Amino acid sequence: MAGLKIHLARPRRTAWQDTRVRTPAARREPVGKPIPPRPPRLPITPRRRGPMKRILTAVLLCLPFIAPAPAAAQATAPAAAQTDEEAAVRAVVVRLFDGMRAGNGAVFAEVFTPDARLQTAAVRRDGTTALTSMAIDSFAAIVSQPRDFILDERLDAWHVRVDGPLAIVTVDYSFYAGERFSHCGIDAFQMFKSADGWKIFQLTDTRRTTGCPAPNESRP
């Protein structure tokens, strides 16, 4: 009996004795769901433009060529009016220097406003600068003095700008006492247009004796 091994078989459970619940989670299944195959891509066909969209595109492309036409037509009238105003402004300057050559100081009252200023941006002999002033009446008295030579201011290189009732004129000038050259420089006029027409309210000049043009400049 000592060498005899006895194997005792375990009793098999009957169906009524197995109380465990068999669920799908208890079964050994692969993790995750299989990925279904991707459907094939369909060819992309370009969208066709409708007739209305094609017409709109053509109109937009033509607008840059159509729109400027009225603006160009409207710009013609102001340009002609501007030319007339520039001519009127120039006439005031010509009137001033014609009166000065004739020795007629009374013309100053016609072309200047009552409170007009007459100034010179000068360079002194020591190199310093100064802005000097002279009364219009004083200048008119100098012009009216009798003399045996003409005060002749010859103008060149006109630049006229007009904006509404304001005008700015710059001219190069050469001043002669008779046939003797005195000096040259630039005249800068500022004018205002009132009910009486264009009037000078500011005249500023420079004066120098070097770098002047040849003594054959035309008069205004």
Question: Domain residues for 128?
Answer: 78-206
pTM above 0.75, yes or no: no
Q: Which of 9-13, 142-146, 193-197, 203-207 has the lowest mean pLDDT?
A: 9-13
Give the dihedral sign, CA 63/64/69/70: positive
- Between these two residues, 77 and 129, which has the higher pLDDT value? 129
Structure tokens at 163: 């904006």
pLDDT above 70: residue 174: yes
Residue 184 within a domain: yes
CATH number of the domain at 198, please.
Answer: 3.10.450.50
- For residues 137 and 140, give the distance between their C-alpha atoms in angstroms, rounded to a whole number: 5
User: Is residue 8, in this structure, part of any structural domain at all?
Assistant: no
The reply to whether 118 falls in a domain is yes
Residue 60 lies in a domain: no
Domain-embedded: residue 6: no
* Per-residue confidence (pLDDT) for residue 57, from 0 to 100: 55
- Predicted confidence at residue 186, as pLDDT, reads 97
61 within a domain of the structure (yes/no): no
CA neighbor of 103 nearest in space, from 139, 142, 143, 141: 143
Q: Judge whether residue 38 has pLDDT over 60.
A: yes
In a domain, 175, yes or no: yes
Q: Which residues contact 142 (CB under 8 A, 6 or more apart)?
A: 105
Is 30 contained in some domain? no
**Residue 64's pLDDT is what?**
41
20-29, 65-74, 81-90, 98-107: range with highest mean pLDDT: 98-107
89 pLDDT higher than 70? yes
How confident is the model over 102-160, as pLDDT tens digits? 999 999 999 999 999 999 999 998 989 999 999 999 999 999 999 999 999 999 999 99
Into how many domains does the chain fold?
Answer: 1
